C-alpha cells in the first residue's frame, strides 16, 4: 500500500510540474518562443496533465478495489467473497472461522494517529501469519 501512496504523490508532483511548465510558457510566450513551438509545448503540457490525472484516478480505484487492507491481509470485501464460497461448498466439515477484535484500537488511533494504529494492526496480522497454515485465509 505504501508504494501506491507514493505513486499517487508522484502523480500530484507530475501534475504540478506540468502546470508550472504551462504557466511558464504562457508568461514567456511573446518573448522567447515561436508560435509553433509554443503550441507544441502547450499540447505536451496538457497531455501530461491528462495522463497524470488519469493515472491518479486509476490508482485510487485500484487501491479501493484491492482485496487487501493496510495490514496486508484480506479486507471485508474479500472476506465476504470467501465466506460466500465456503457457504456454496458441499463439505465444510473441516472449515473453522475465528474473529478477532483489537481492544483499544480507537485509543491508539486517537492518541498516536492512524499510522500507528495501522502498525498495531500490521503487527497483530504478522503474529497471526506466523501460526497459520498455508490453507488458512486471513
The model's confidence at residue 107, banded by pLDDT at 50, 70 and 90, is: very high
The model's confidence at residue 110, banded by pLDDT at 50, 70 and 90, is: very high
Question: Within 10 Å of residue 25's Cβ, how many Cβ atoms?
Answer: 19
Determine the Cα–Cα distance for residues 126 and 107; give it in Å rounded to an integer.
21
Determine the Cα–Cα distance for residues 13 and 55; give it in Å rounded to an integer.
12
Identify which has the larger pLDDT, 62 or 101.
Answer: 101
Contacts of 113-119 spanning 24+ positions with Cβ under 8 A: 118/70, 118/71
Look up the pTM and report it: 0.47
Q: What is the pLDDT of residue 33?
A: 61
Identify which has the larger pLDDT, 22 or 115.
Answer: 115
* Residue 90 per-residue DSSP state: S
Amino acid at each position: 500500500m505504501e508504494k501506491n501512496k507514493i505513486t499517487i504523490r508522484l502523480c500530484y508532483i507530475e501534475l504540478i510540474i506540468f502546470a508550472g511548465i504551462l504557466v511558464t510558457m504562457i508568461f514567456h510566450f511573446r518573448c522567447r518562443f515561436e508560435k509553433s513551438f509554443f503550441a507544441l509545448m502547450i499540447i505536451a503540457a496538457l497531455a501530461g496533465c491528462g495522463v497524470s490525472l488519469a493515472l491518479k484516478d486509476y490508482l485510487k480505484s485500484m487501491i479501493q478495489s484491492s482485496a487487501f487492507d493496510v495490514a496486508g491481509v484480506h479486507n471485508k470485501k474479500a472476506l465476504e467473497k470467501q465466506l460466500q464460497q465456503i457457504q456454496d461448498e458441499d463439505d465444510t466439515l473441516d472449515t473453522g472461522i475465528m474473529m478477532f477484535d483489537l481492544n483499544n484500537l480507537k485509543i491508539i488511533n486517537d492518541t498516536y494517529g492512524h499510522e500507528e494504529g495501522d502498525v498495531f494492526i500490521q503487527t497483530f496480522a504478522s503474529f497471526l501469519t506466523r501460526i497459520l497454515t498455508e490453507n488458512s485465509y486471513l
